[in-house]
Structure 1
Amino acid sequence: MLRPTGWWLAVKPIDLRCGMDRLLVLVQTQFGRDGFDGAAYAFRNRSGTRLKVLCADAQGVWLCTRRLHRGQFVWPRAGAELFTVSTEQFEWLIAGVDWQRLSARIEDVPRLV
C-alpha cells in the first residue's frame, strides 16, 4: 500500500515521458532531496491534465499516473521548485477539485457585511 511520509508537488511542468529513474534523479539533483525518503513527489505536464506520482523507499519504487478527462489539476504558482501539501489537499487535487480554496482559513474568506 502506498503510504508516503509527505506529499511534494514539483511546481514546474515536466515532460511526462520520463520514467522512475529519471524522476528520482530529478528529485535528488534539482530539488536536493533524498528520493528514497518515503515521500511522494507529484509532477504534472504543461497542460495540467496529467500527473505522475513517484514514491520510493528502501523496499522499492511506486510510479503512478493520473489523467483527467475534463479540466485541469489545480497547481500552486509558488516561487519555489517544490511545494508541500497535506494528504487531504492531495486527495482533493487528484480529484480535480481546487484544493487551495478548500484548505483556505475561514478567517481569510471575505464576508458580506
Structure 2
Amino acid sequence: MKIFVATRPIDFRAGINRLMGLVTHVLGHEACAGDVFVFRNKSADKIRLVRHDGTGAVMAAKVLDRGRFCWPPIQDGTIVLSGPQCAALLSGLDWTGLPATEVRRPLIYG
C-alpha cells in the first residue's frame, strides 16, 4: 500500500464519492487499488484520507485544534510518503526531514 498526498487543496464540502473521483480523474491513479490518498483544505488545518479496501471506500478526517499541517509546495499531482512521514503528518509535525525510504517486504523462499 502506498500513501499519496494530493498537493493541491480541495473543497472540503466534497464527500467520499467526489474524492474517489478526484483520485481517478484528476490525479490519474487507480482509486480501487488499495492505496491511501490524503487531501487538505485551503487553510491546511483539516485533512481527509480515502482508501478503497476491496469492499468499499473508507474516509477518515482530522482537524487540528491549532496550527496547520505541514504540506508540500502546491503543484499538480501527488507525492508519495513513507509510513513514518505519514504518521508525522497526521500528528501535525514537520515530516519533511524524515527519510522517505520504503521498507521492502522480505522474500519468502520455500
Structure 2 length normalisation: TM-score? Answer: 0.85
The AA in structure 2 aligned to 1:91 is A
Q: 1:58-85: per-residue Cα shift (whole Å, max 9, x none)? A: 2111100000001100011164411110
SS at match of 2:29: coil
Q: Which residue of 1 aligns with 2:25?
A: 29
Q: 1:21-72: per-residue Cα shift (whole Å, max 9, x none)? A: 0011111001111100000000000000000000013211110000000110
Q: Which residue of 1 aligns with 2:38?
A: 42
1:59 to 42, 55, 59: 55
The AA in structure 2 aligned to 1:39 is D
Please report how far the alpha carbon of residue 7 of structure 1 lies from its aligned counterpart in structure 2 after TM superposition.
Answer: 0.3
Distance 2:12 2:74 in 1: 21
Moved over 4 A (4+): none
Higher share of residues assigned helix: 1
Q: Which residue of 2 aligns with 1:72?
A: 68
Q: Is the 8 A contact 2:8 2:76 kept in 1?
A: no
The AA in structure 2 aligned to 1:25 is G
CA RMSD of aligned residues (A): 1.4
Q: Which residue of 2 aligns with 1:97?
A: 93
SS at match of 2:4: strand
Give me the identity figure in percent. Answer: 32
Number of residue equivalences? 100
